[in-house]
Structure 1
């Protein structure tokens, strides 16, 4: 992996031109301010504060966390992960009809396409969408309708990773997976689990049966782990839940044996450096273990997590990460290639994505040849 002491910032247009996948992004974290204001107006819902400061959740009492996390800066970071999750509950509660859900899905695909993303595994946690309690399969179908329309219009193709919440019961998790296995809603291709590891503690044993049922039903498995918890969360994800991919996983760097396991088993980490810093997991880019994970041979992809409230985009996150660590265009092509391999896209789509990336890489190489 190439790293230089003072690299020139790679133009975001170059990054957008690289065909790629994104594998760690939450639909709940992609509502634009305009999306939220329209939903609130349609539902006659009051905003928790001034529209201009809506994404600065530290200014709204409803989302303020009881304790401020260290580091992290402004916005969601100072409220901590728990306050941020409360914001997502309020925001997703504004989606109350199938048409609204389909519109949110379509907007997501358009946003991804604008960043040069051709395929996404998007994480959807129905527990945030309180208007759909007891109707989770209907929510999946409404979202799929929006994704279908988007793909028909030439936008990013999307698969849904249905996510459990760490705080829910084993029984409710089992019920959710049983419903998925019975209904087989279109575009739901994986089971996930997310939420604040620090608050809930170890949950691998609790969800073991649900993930085994998901595997038997042909669903892929990805798990949030190694973020606010240490390496033990990643071990549990691998050994108890059969995770094929880890979302975050950065604290695996603290355990050499775990790093060896990730490398030997080819387990990819869906890392979100900007999110980790904004939410206070690491105070500085120098502290973040991304370079060490790469040097150890771990397959790492670069993702946004929750780009709208964190005030970013995939191309911006790639650009700042490249600048901080001295990655060049060849390195970014590598990230794009790993994103395709780590995705849960089917074999035919992966082959098409590889071909598009190879074409773009050749074009970039030609563009860099100096004129005579």
Structure 2
């Protein structure tokens, strides 16, 4: 495996210049330590780490449930419209600096509703931040409100009701995350979401086995799968995914940090690409996992993917997005032009 310092400068330049799309990144999980400190002090949240160094230790996760606990604790610092706008602007600025042109951002709506923060406040804040970011940086953002499946069907129903009542036009789909539980009970929630024009974008197969992916496909009508790395444990599922080109949004460093894989060299991403699956590359919860999308491309290179593969991942991101056809053609042409120059 190539060490980080040994990546050739030509590869670094290629990754830097590659037009990118981010399809699996969580707004709240993108909160930088400095922002967490600022909001904690603003609202008097005094049971969180109070230095940058302490937050770095706080982000050392024992396992996936521990990560969820830390995530929920951090979310408590988001309380008013200006908080959500501040976070959105910061996340968009950091994405744009990596040459990310478009992002579909997961929004932990149910966690805010549960804390008594109205959906109107959440959406007003993120929309304010989105509009400012698009004007200042040229990046386009769209929203995927989600809920934790381990909180039950009521969480899905309440989230969907809030989206249908207050969601702006920039909402593109409905997500489900949290501790990975059976997806079958959420069939009615997703049927109603799809009937109202929302795309089905569930997490599945991160650490719950290939059966969760089958459930997301057959029961929830999934149009993309968040993570989906456990699909590789089922040859029939691999064949189905290859044939249908159903996109899988993969986040290697996230899978390492939550212990879904034991070592980055064990990650199935190279095999997924070799099998001809429609894989996109994403950062998930960047500061919590000590990464960003640029680093995920470096990681993909380190574990065996070449420049053509990296360009293929970028093209897949464009294809799997909900951008309009003209924007997809334009971005794909930019990627192809970079490959030709390289």
TM-score for the superposition, normalised by structure 2: 0.92
Partner of 1:19: 19
Picking from 202, 210, 232, the partner of 1:231 is 210
Return structure 1 stretches of 4+ with deviation > 6 angstroms. Answer: none
Is the counterpart of residue 219 in structure 1 residue 198 in structure 2?
yes
Q: Kindly provide the CA deviation profile for residues 158-214 of structure 1, in whole angstroms up to 9, marking residues without a partner as x.
A: 1111112112232342232233224342311111100111xxx31x22211111111
Is the counterpart of residue 149 in structure 1 residue 132 in structure 2?
yes
User: Where in structure 2 are the equivalents of 1:33-72 lying within 5 Å?
Assistant: 33-51=33-51, 52-57=53-58
User: Where in structure 2 are the equivalents of 1:48-127 lying within 5 Å?
Assistant: 48-51=48-51, 52-57=53-58, 75-76=60-61, 79-127=62-110
User: Where in structure 2 are the equivalents of 1:323-334 lying within 5 Å?
Assistant: 323-325=302-304, 327-334=305-312
RCO (CA 8 Å, sep 6+): is it higher in 1 or 2?
Answer: 1
Q: Distance between the aligned counterparts of 1:209 and 1:274, measured in 2?
A: 33
Q: Distance between the aligned counterparts of 2:121 and 2:318, measured in 1?
A: 29
**Deviation for aligned residue 1:36:** 0.9
Partner of 1:208: 187
Going from structure 1 to structure 2, the CA distance change for 1:353 and 1:139 (only over 3 Å counts) comes to: same
Count of equivalent residues: 337
Q: Kindly provide the CA deviation profile for residues 250-288 of structure 1, in whole angstroms up to 9, marking residues without a partner as x.
A: 010010111111122221111111111121111123322
Aligned-partner SS, 1:228: coil
Going from structure 1 to structure 2, the CA distance change for 1:284 and 1:134 (only over 3 Å counts) comes to: closer
Return the index of the structure with the highest Cα Rg: 1
Picking from 112, 137, 152, the partner of 1:169 is 152
Q: Distance between the aligned counterparts of 1:240 and 1:266, measured in 2?
A: 18
Q: Distance between the aligned counterparts of 2:93 and 2:139, measured in 1?
A: 7
Q: Distance between the aligned counterparts of 2:149 and 2:89, measured in 1?
A: 28
**Deviation for aligned residue 1:91:** 1.3
TM-score for the superposition, normalised by structure 1: 0.85
Tell me if structure 2 keeps the 8 A contact 1:268–1:298: yes
Tell me if structure 1 keeps the 8 A contact 2:25–2:283: yes
Aligned-partner SS, 2:309: helix
Partner of 1:67: none
**Deviation for aligned residue 1:90:** 1.6
Query: Which deviates further from its counterpart, 252-261 or 178-187?
Result: 178-187
User: Where in structure 2 are the equivalents of 1:276-287 lying within 5 Å?
Assistant: 276-287=255-266
Going from structure 1 to structure 2, the CA distance change for 1:334 and 1:34 (only over 3 Å counts) comes to: same
Measured on the aligned residues, the alpha-carbon RMSD in Å equals 2.1
**Any gaps of 5 or more consecutive residues in structure 1?**
59-74, 366-372
**Deviation for aligned residue 1:132:** 5.5
Is the counterpart of residue 358 in structure 1 residue 306 in structure 2?
no
**Any gaps of 5 or more consecutive residues in structure 2?**
none
Q: Distance between the aligned counterparts of 1:220 and 1:258, measured in 2?
A: 21
Picking from 196, 205, 219, the partner of 1:240 is 219
Tell me if structure 2 keeps the 8 A contact 1:141–1:186: no
Going from structure 1 to structure 2, the CA distance change for 1:13 and 1:127 (only over 3 Å counts) comes to: farther
Higher helix proportion, which one?
A: 2
Q: Distance between the aligned counterparts of 2:159 and 2:291, measured in 1?
A: 32
